[in-house]
């Protein structure tokens, strides 16, 4: 009975015809007259690391709010593993794990208590959740801190606990909103490596929002978001081609400043 609430074993990575981990199509979202997102379409294939690259204010957090259904998209569609977030929110949200930009752990509770609480929100019973805690903590290398209060952890460790928490209900899509903000270089690299290992092992799709270009590797998919619009997306080489640049930093700069220039010209005309 309880088992039903837990995501079923996931499909093999990218079988032919299976829906991608995340498919956003033609999503526009405005707050008043300000368009935070303008006709955004992007895909996160299963088992991929997709970097959502954009400067501050590009619309990354708005996009995350729509995917996690804090509020609804008015236009376009957002599908998690083929489930429309608006039409089948339960099916979509149960396949989704999120690490928000802001810290969202209860500092006065222990690591285990935080994880068990999250599991119950997904309908996983206390007993089963407790058994699962060590598993997920082990996968982020924190099994020995299970009984500690969150307050006693370092910033990097808290982030890893948040990732462990997002994995408690075995999601097939993991969203991370600038997870490395405020971390030192060492913990930042460790965190990125951790998530990459998860992809290799579990085949989940990851959407990693960031403005730190060093976190991207050659095999990643990249989506460049700027002022609410997708400026380029695809494999490394495709983004380089779109930006007509030799490396990602240059391409990113070209894609984000060229558009600004064009808009300025448009504004003057």
Q: Which residue is listed with tokens 């999601």? A: 171
Please say which residue, 156 or 243, places its beta carbon nearer to other proteins: 156
Please say which residue, 2 or 253, places its beta carbon nearer to other proteins: 2
Nearest distance in Å: CB 79, other proteins: 14
Nearest CA to 46 among 85, 10, 93?
10
Binding-site member from 40, 124, 225, 255 for other proteins (CB under 8 A): 124
Spatial contact of 229 and 205, defined as CB atoms under 8 Å apart: no
Nearest distance in Å: CB 146, other proteins: 13
- Which tokens sit at 224? 């460049």
Residue 90 makes contact with other proteins by CB under 8 A: yes
Choices 44-52, 86-94, 241-249, 255-263; region in contact with other proteins by CB under 8 A? 86-94
Nearest distance in Å: CB 38, other proteins: 14
Please say which residue, 41 or 101, places its beta carbon nearer to other proteins: 101
Residue 36 makes contact with other proteins by CB under 8 A: yes
Query: What distances in angstroms separate CA 243 from CA 51, 62, 256, one per listed residue?
Result: 16, 25, 9
Phi, psi for residue 39 in degrees, rounded to 5: 50, 55
For 132, residues 6+ apart whose C-beta sits below 8 A from its C-beta are 115, 119, 124, 168
Binding-site member from 14, 28, 41, 113 for other proteins (CB under 8 A): 113
Nearest CA to 52 among 212, 203, 187?
212
Residue 259 makes contact with other proteins by CB under 8 A: no
Residue 217 makes contact with other proteins by CB under 8 A: no
Nearest distance in Å: CB 128, other proteins: 9
Residue 69 makes contact with other proteins by CB under 8 A: yes
Query: What distances in angstroms separate CA 101 from CA 16, 108, 152, 170, 244, one per listed residue?
Result: 34, 20, 20, 20, 31
Nearest distance in Å: CB 269, other proteins: 28
Please say which residue, 42 or 251, places its beta carbon nearer to other proteins: 42
Binding-site member from 201, 246, 265, 267 for other proteins (CB under 8 A): 201
Residue 119 makes contact with other proteins by CB under 8 A: yes
């Amino acid at each position: 009975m309880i088992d039903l609430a837990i995501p079923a074993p996931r499909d093999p990575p990218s079988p032919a015809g299976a829906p991608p981990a995340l498919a956003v199509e033609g999503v526009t979202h405005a707050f008043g007259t300000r368009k935070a997102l303008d006709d955004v379409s992007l895909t996160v294939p299963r088992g991929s690391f997709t970097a959502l690259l954009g400067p501050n204010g590009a619309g990354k957090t708005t996009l995350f709010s729509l995917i996690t259904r804090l509020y609804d998209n008015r236009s376009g569609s957002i599908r998690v593993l083929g489930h429309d977030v608006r039409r089948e929110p339960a099916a979509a949200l149960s396949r989704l794990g999120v690490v928000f930009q802001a810290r969202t752990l209860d500092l006065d509770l222990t690591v285990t208590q935080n994880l068990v609480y999250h599991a119950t929100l997904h309908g996983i019973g206390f007993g089963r959740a407790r058994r699962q805690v060590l598993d997920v903590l082990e996968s982020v290398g924190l099994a020995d801190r299970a009984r500690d209060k969150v307050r006693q952890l370092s910033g990097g460790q808290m982030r890893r606990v948040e990732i462990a928490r997002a994995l408690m209900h075995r999601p097939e899509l993991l969203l991370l909103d600038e997870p490395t903000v405020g971390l030192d270089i060492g913990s930042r690299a460790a965190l990125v490596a951790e998530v990459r290992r998860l992809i290799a092992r579990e085949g989940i799709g990851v959407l990693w929002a960031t403005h730190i270009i060093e976190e991207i590797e050659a095999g990643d998919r990249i989506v460049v978001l700027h002022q609410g619009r997708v400026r380029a997306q695809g494999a490394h080489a495709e983004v380089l081609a779109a930006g007509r640049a030799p490396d990602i930093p240059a391409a990113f700069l070209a894609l984000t400043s060229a558009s600004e220039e064009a808009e300025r010209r448009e504004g003057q005309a």
